[in-house]
Structure 1
């Protein structure tokens, strides 16, 4: 029973991921869509696709064990953001000090 549920989850995730990839790509080919609306749709589809991947492929929902995995994921993303933004901040200040 668990294997059937996993295969169903993978299939649904595959279909949703394909749709969320094809939709922004096809809209970017259409010249009638305004640029701001297109960027909003692309970002929205990307965020929804991240959620689809977390739920359908990584199975992060429901139980306490998945909650800990989600906490570890959020902590990892936080550390990555601190490293990235800290590096940008340091490079900006170094550039400012060199230009003086």
Structure 2
């Protein structure tokens, strides 16, 4: 470890990230259960909140901006995104034929 590394005594970044995650989750829950909006609007808001939640997790908890090897992290993120798309698309495809 180099001399430039600074360790905080209290994890404020994690606390703020956790609270923001809870707020986004409760907004999605309210939209889904109590908003009275159309299904299309509900799905659009929930997908938007999910993308915001994922970005929040990446930057607040997974230390996306703290690595020295940006290229490796970019490749890992693209691979993770590909796997997530395959899992979601595959699940929808399977459910489409079962239902």
- The corresponding residue for 1:54 is 58
Cα distance change of structure 1 residues 31 and 76 upon mapping to structure 2, 3 Å threshold: closer
For normalisation by structure 2, the TM-score amounts to: 0.67
Across the aligned residues of Structure 1 and Structure 2, the Cα RMSD in angstroms comes to 3.2
Deviations 1:19-76 (A, max 9, x none): 1100010122215222211111100000000000000000102653255223212124
Cα distance change of structure 1 residues 47 and 6 upon mapping to structure 2, 3 Å threshold: farther
For normalisation by structure 1, the TM-score amounts to: 0.66
Where in structure 2 are there 5+ consecutive unaligned residues?
95-99
Going by fraction, where is helix more abundant, 1 or 2? 1
Where in structure 1 are there 5+ consecutive unaligned residues?
92-100
Higher radius of gyration, 1 or 2 = 1
**What is the CA distance between 1:5 and its match in structure 2?**
7.9
SS where residue 19 of structure 1 aligns? Answer: helix
How many positions carry a matched residue from both structures?
87
For residues 76 and 32 of structure 1, what CA distance do their matches in structure 2 show? 34
